[in-house]
Amino acid sequence: MQIRNPASVFVAAAVIVASVAIAADHDDDAIEKFDQIDKFRQLEEILPTPNAYRTASGAPGHGYWQQRADYEIDVEIDDDNQRLTGHETIHYFNNSPDTLRYLWVQLDANLYAPDSDAALISTAPRFEKMRPRDIKRLLKRAEFDGSATIERVVDADGDDLPHTIVKTMMRIDLPEPLAAGATTTFSIDWSYTINRSDEVRGRTACEYFEDDDNFLYEIAQWFPRMAPYNDVRGWHNKQFLGRGEFSLEFGNYLVRITVPADHVVASTGVLQNPDDVLTPRQRERLEIASRTDKPVFIVTPDEAKMNESSRSGDTRTWVYAAENVRDFAFATSRKFIWDAMLHDVEGNPVWAMSYYPNEGEPLWSRYSTHAIMHTLDVYSKYTFTYPYPVAISVNGPVGGMEYPMICFNGPRPEEDGTYSKRTKYGLISVIIHEVGHNYFPMIVNSDERQWTWMDEGLNTFVQYLTEQEWEEEYPSRRGEPRNIVGYMRSTNQVPIMTNSESLLQFGSNAYAKPATALNILRETILGRELFDFAFKEYARRWQFKAPMPADLFRSMEDASGIDLDWFWRGWFYTTDHTDIAIEGVKVYEMKTGDLDEDSAISKAERDDEPESLSERRNRALAKRTERFPELLDFYNEFDELDVTKDDRRRFQRFLDRLEDDDAEYLGREERFYVVDFRNKGGLVMPLILAIEYESGRTEELRIPAEIWRKDNERVSKLLLANEPIVRIELDPHLETADIDLSNNTWPPEPVESRFRLYKDRKDKNPMQELEQKLEDDVALDDEDEEEQKRKGDGWR
């Protein structure tokens, strides 16, 4: 019988008693458990439940429906008073399963009422940064009234319809409920004053040219438009506050535009009466443009210059028709140069056309129509074939705005015709972006009033792809992960999934971040092949329909076969950022299997250990064993790393018990590297590692984001190596928008940076400087010539 130490029994009993007492005193204490947020939790709890209208796959369901509104409009521009007058007849088709007792119509011009919500909720400007023209616009906006005057609303028989104007919306009460599948027709007469761009800025405006006393009009959000009614929200009657743009129904348009007879009109749709409004020479040039491989002037710069001085007292009506579009816009001026070319887009002949004043030259004739054609080619490759017969870019007062088949773009060269690099690429990029909006949201008809990112973010992503196919090293502003780092590091953010009116850092949130997220999804998460297939399938499913965010998320997962809920949750529903650090690396090696060799290696490692300061100083101390050598014994000579006979017997017994296939692993030279990672930014992302070995060999290891599924804060990864690893770098290709690269390498490396004490101008114009130098050189040559003549030398 083994006798236990009584004292140890007593101590053990005391520990047990103490433990019981402590537990009794803390019965009410909460038990700490794993409290991390599950970053891989599925989105079903957030996304709407699939139904017959919108399926779990992200595709439209068998019961999907949408309304339709056809328009016949007569509009006239009063060039003397900058006023628009219109009459429209709307044929509204109730394709829903619901009975409607009233209709909602959008009155976007009411944004410019002095007492509009947009004016009332605008916050105070920063006066320390205001310029004189800003003060002018502030005061002009306060006194300007550009709201719509509704003169009458009548049914098909001409009887008045009761209507109520609610700020930027108007409710029309129907005399009889509109049953499912039924149609109603009604008409509206209205007018409003067009805002001047130098006084009140907006998505629509007229620009005044003082030198030649002319106006250029870009007309949009100009007619009462049907508000959508759908399966998600019913009537979309959310007020227009200026930031969240438009949600609209598809339909057919016939529009008669009456303008001064010397004006040229660019418009959504196809011109129906060219013989009435174009000269024989212009029609001949259009025929030539239909079979050339370069843009052709329909109205030349010289002709446009001559038109500027004309003042016709007559009017002319241009008739345009457009099928299956969700909106309609136009531009008109006597200042327009017009160039055009018929371009084949995957078998669809499309008129690519540009309209611009002489102030846009030579930049516009060089780049605009080419940018249109390039956009249609690349966007069609990644989505669907451009379905419309026309695509137009117009230069005027609006910096960048999109409508079906037509867009408004602002950049111009300097007065001397030179331009900066920023202006050149700014023009190409804004045309790509605005023409690209034909796809998102003009055809893939997302709700801009609610979700800006669904059109701006997706469009900015495809814009990035298109820019990269324009030329080598195109200076894209958005799309590259490294370009979003500053925003991701900032503190005043809201998630992408925020209503358009509540966004902070609007451009970064709604344009840059979703575009970057999709680029990362394409390059790093899915790969180009899977992504391109899924993205094209989403576009195909929802062209000429109205998708919601869940339809995009589900379609991308359905078509790619990859669970992306963690990605959508992190990038779109949070403000987390990428900051993953290599916290440390531990190296493990197996013994060789030879006891004597292992002993020698262990002794060498021990002897290589650095001597501590205390050890070095203590060597000078007098030792007692030096005075009394009899105190020395066996252990003073014995090295504990020596191999003893007992070590050899025990090791042999160990070998005898091993199976043959186990024994062969003894003495292997593999090294085991345990790399510890910490997720400091919160956004779970793949681990992309560049590994460099002692021999100079390199390899890349790509670890899916699912490595974080059980712990999204810290994780360790085992790397096997048959030679020493000398360097590990995380995210070597800058794929993940990691905001701090200083913690991405092992061993740690200093991050070099430079700073400057002055600021460069962003809009430098070396072309202008070169032109000035050439002019100066010519002037000097002229002076030299005059000097030579004066002296009578060298010149006869």
For the 581-600+628-647+667-755 domain, the top CATH level (class) is mainly beta
Q: Is the pLDDT of residue 25 over 60?
A: no
Helix, strand or coil for residue 759? coil
Q: For residue 248, how many other CB atoms are within 10 A of its CB? A: 24
Contact predicate 405/392, CB 8 Å: yes
CA distance 99 to 181: 9
Q: What is the pLDDT of residue 642?
A: 85
Q: Is the pLDDT of residue 751 over 80?
A: no
Nearest partner of 271 among 355, 347, 195, 190, judged by Cα: 355
Q: Please, what is the end-to-end C-alpha distance for the chain in angstroms?
A: 134
**Residue 746 exposed, middle or buried by CB count within 10 Å (0-12, 13-18, 19+):** buried
Which helix (DSSP H) or strand (DSSP E) does residue 767 occupy? helix 766-791
Domain ranges within the chain, ordered by starting residue: 68-450, 451-575, 581-600+628-647+667-755, 765-796
Q: Which tens digit of pLDDT belongs to each residue from 378-404? A: 999 999 999 999 999 999 999 999 999
Helix, strand or coil for residue 518? helix
Q: Which two tokens stand for residue 454?
A: 């669904």
CA distance 374 to 379: 8
Q: Which two tokens stand for residue 614?
A: 């205390």
Q: Which two tokens stand for residue 331?
A: 């531009």
| CA torsion, ordered 195, 199, 203, 204, to nearest 10 deg | 30
Write down how long the chain is. 796
Q: What is the pLDDT of residue 650?
A: 85
The percent of residues in the chain predicted with pLDDT above 90, rounded, is 75
**Residue 28 exposed, middle or buried by CB count within 10 Å (0-12, 13-18, 19+):** exposed
**Residue 176 exposed, middle or buried by CB count within 10 Å (0-12, 13-18, 19+):** exposed
CA distance 540 to 114: 43
Pair type for strands 348-356 and 390-395: parallel
Which stretch of 103-117, 374-388, 594-608 has the lowest confidence by average pLDDT?
Answer: 594-608
Position 2: which residue type? Q
CA distance 446 to 440: 7
Contact predicate 391/429, CB 8 Å: no
Q: What is the pLDDT of residue 667?
A: 61
| CA torsion, ordered 133, 136, 137, 142, to nearest 10 deg | 170
Return the higher-pLDDT residue of 384 and 133: 384
Position 435: which residue type? V
CATH number of 68-450: 2.60.40.1730
Query: Which residues on adjacent β-strands are paired with residue 715?
Result: 677
Q: Which tens digit of pLDDT belongs to each residue from 628-662? A: 999 888 888 888 888 888 888 887 787 778 777 77
Q: What is the pLDDT of residue 776?
A: 60
CATH 1.10.10.10 holds for 451-575: no
Supply φ then ψ for residue 483, to 5 degrees.
-80, -10
Contact predicate 710/704, CB 8 Å: no
Q: What is the pLDDT of residue 9?
A: 34
Q: Is the pLDDT of residue 87 over 70?
A: yes
68-450 and 451-575 share one CATH topology?
Answer: no
Per-residue pLDDT band at 105 (split at 50, 70, 90): very high
Q: For residue 453, how many other CB atoms are within 10 A of its CB? A: 26
| Neighbouring residues of 40: CB distance < 8 A, sequence distance ≥ 6 | 565, 566, 684, 706, 708, 709
Q: Which tens digit of pLDDT belongs to each residue from 300-332? A: 999 999 999 988 889 999 999 999 999 999 999
Position 172: which residue type? I
Contact predicate 170/164, CB 8 Å: yes
Per-residue pLDDT band at 7 (split at 50, 70, 90): very low
Helix, strand or coil for residue 643? coil
Q: What is the pLDDT of residue 759?
A: 65
Q: pLDDT averaged over the chain?
A: 90
CA distance 166 to 677: 56
Supply φ then ψ for residue 716, to 5 degrees.
-120, 145
CA distance 689 to 493: 30
Q: Which two tokens stand for residue 190?
A: 């209205």
Which stretch of 241-250, 280-289, 529-538, 641-650 has the lowest confidence by average pLDDT?
Answer: 641-650
CA distance 625 to 628: 5
pTM, 2 dp: 0.88
Per-residue pLDDT band at 794 (split at 50, 70, 90): very low
Q: Which tens digit of pLDDT belongs to each residue from 754-792? A: 666 666 666 678 777 766 655 565 555 555 555 554 444
Query: Which residues on adjacent β-strands are paired with residue 86?
Result: 75, 190
Q: What is the pLDDT of residue 479?
A: 96
Which helix (DSSP H) or strand (DSSP E) does residue 560 occupy? helix 549-560
Q: What is the pLDDT of residue 657?
A: 80
- In the Cβ-directed half-sphere of 601, how many Cα atoms lie within 13 Å? 10
Q: Which tens digit of pLDDT belongs to each residue from 495-507? A: 999 999 999 999 9
CA distance 115 to 337: 39
Q: Is the pLDDT of residue 72 over 60?
A: yes
Q: Which tens digit of pLDDT belongs to each residue from 397-448? A: 999 999 999 999 999 999 999 999 999 999 999 999 999 999 999 999 999 9
Q: What is the DSSP letter of 511?
A: I
Q: Is the pLDDT of residue 255 over 90?
A: yes
CA distance 40 to 788: 83
Q: Is the pLDDT of residue 2 over 90?
A: no
Pair type for strands 251-260 and 68-78: parallel
Position 194: which residue type? I
